[in-house]
Amino acid sequence: MYFVQFIKMVYQHGSSEIKRVFKYLKRKGFAIEERKNGYKIVPPNCIGGDFYFTHGTESAYHSLRRDFARMYSVDVTSDTDLQTDPVYTTRTVKI
Protein backbone atom coordinates (compact mmCIF):
# COMPACT_ATOMS: atom_id res chain seq x y z
CA MET A 1 0.00 0.00 0.00
CA TYR A 2 2.81 2.42 0.86
CA PHE A 3 4.53 1.79 -2.50
CA VAL A 4 1.34 2.61 -4.44
CA GLN A 5 0.92 5.87 -2.51
CA PHE A 6 4.55 6.76 -3.20
CA ILE A 7 4.12 6.18 -6.95
CA LYS A 8 0.98 8.34 -7.02
CA MET A 9 2.84 11.10 -5.17
CA VAL A 10 5.71 11.07 -7.66
CA TYR A 11 3.37 11.40 -10.64
CA GLN A 12 1.25 13.99 -8.90
CA HIS A 13 4.08 16.39 -8.10
CA GLY A 14 6.07 15.86 -11.29
CA SER A 15 9.43 17.37 -12.05
CA SER A 16 10.41 20.97 -11.37
CA GLU A 17 12.33 21.05 -14.66
CA ILE A 18 9.27 19.89 -16.60
CA LYS A 19 7.11 22.46 -14.79
CA ARG A 20 9.58 25.19 -15.84
CA VAL A 21 9.40 23.97 -19.45
CA PHE A 22 5.58 23.93 -19.36
CA LYS A 23 5.53 27.48 -18.03
CA TYR A 24 7.87 28.58 -20.82
CA LEU A 25 5.77 26.81 -23.47
CA LYS A 26 2.56 28.43 -22.21
CA ARG A 27 4.18 31.85 -22.62
CA LYS A 28 5.13 30.90 -26.18
CA GLY A 29 1.47 30.10 -26.97
CA PHE A 30 1.35 26.31 -26.56
CA ALA A 31 -1.77 24.86 -24.92
CA ILE A 32 -1.07 22.20 -22.30
CA GLU A 33 -3.89 19.89 -21.28
CA GLU A 34 -3.57 17.46 -18.41
CA ARG A 35 -4.75 13.97 -19.34
CA LYS A 36 -5.28 10.78 -17.37
CA ASN A 37 -1.82 9.41 -18.19
CA GLY A 38 0.16 12.59 -18.82
CA TYR A 39 -0.03 15.82 -20.79
CA LYS A 40 -1.14 16.80 -24.27
CA ILE A 41 0.75 19.76 -25.72
CA VAL A 42 -0.91 21.59 -28.62
CA PRO A 43 1.21 24.01 -30.67
CA PRO A 44 -0.14 27.47 -31.55
CA ASN A 45 -1.57 28.06 -35.03
CA CYS A 46 1.43 30.18 -36.07
CA ILE A 47 3.78 27.21 -35.52
CA GLY A 48 1.46 24.41 -36.58
CA GLY A 49 2.23 20.72 -36.40
CA ASP A 50 0.98 17.67 -34.56
CA PHE A 51 0.06 17.28 -30.92
CA TYR A 52 2.72 16.08 -28.51
CA PHE A 53 2.01 13.67 -25.65
CA THR A 54 4.31 13.25 -22.64
CA HIS A 55 4.06 11.76 -19.15
CA GLY A 56 5.66 14.81 -17.52
CA THR A 57 8.24 13.13 -15.30
CA GLU A 58 11.99 13.70 -15.03
CA SER A 59 12.80 11.02 -17.58
CA ALA A 60 10.68 12.80 -20.22
CA TYR A 61 12.81 15.96 -20.20
CA HIS A 62 15.46 14.84 -22.70
CA SER A 63 13.00 13.52 -25.27
CA LEU A 64 10.81 16.61 -24.87
CA ARG A 65 13.82 18.89 -25.43
CA ARG A 66 14.97 16.92 -28.48
CA ASP A 67 11.52 16.59 -30.06
CA PHE A 68 10.57 20.23 -29.61
CA ALA A 69 13.79 21.34 -31.29
CA ARG A 70 13.11 19.00 -34.20
CA MET A 71 9.32 19.37 -34.58
CA TYR A 72 8.66 23.00 -33.66
CA SER A 73 12.14 24.65 -33.75
CA VAL A 74 11.70 25.67 -30.10
CA ASP A 75 14.66 25.49 -27.73
CA VAL A 76 13.23 24.77 -24.27
CA THR A 77 16.65 24.88 -22.61
CA SER A 78 17.60 28.46 -23.46
CA ASP A 79 17.42 30.67 -20.41
CA THR A 80 18.52 33.64 -22.51
CA ASP A 81 15.19 33.45 -24.31
CA LEU A 82 13.46 33.82 -20.96
CA GLN A 83 15.48 36.96 -20.20
CA THR A 84 14.88 38.61 -23.57
CA ASP A 85 11.18 37.87 -23.70
CA PRO A 86 9.45 41.22 -24.40
CA VAL A 87 6.88 40.55 -21.70
CA TYR A 88 9.56 40.68 -19.01
CA THR A 89 11.86 43.39 -20.35
CA THR A 90 11.42 47.10 -19.91
CA ARG A 91 12.69 49.85 -22.16
CA THR A 92 13.85 53.27 -21.15
CA VAL A 93 12.82 55.91 -23.64
CA LYS A 94 14.75 59.15 -23.70
CA ILE A 95 12.52 62.16 -24.29
Quickly state the pLDDT bin for 87 (edges 50, 70, 90): very low
Q: What percent of the chain has pLDDT over 70?
A: 66
Q: Say which residues have a Cβ less than 8 Å from residue 58's Cβ, sequence separation at least 6.
A: 15, 17, 18
**What pLDDT shows up at residue 48?**
84
pTM over 0.85: no
**What pLDDT shows up at residue 9?**
46
The string over 9-41, giving b where at least 16 C-beta atoms fall within 10 Å of a residue's C-beta and e elsewhere, is eeeeebbeebeebbebbeebebebeeeeebbeb
Q: pLDDT of 50-73, one tens digit each?
A: 899 998 888 888 899 999 999 988
Q: pLDDT of 10-20, one tens digit each?
A: 455 567 888 88
Per-domain residue ranges for the chain? 15-75
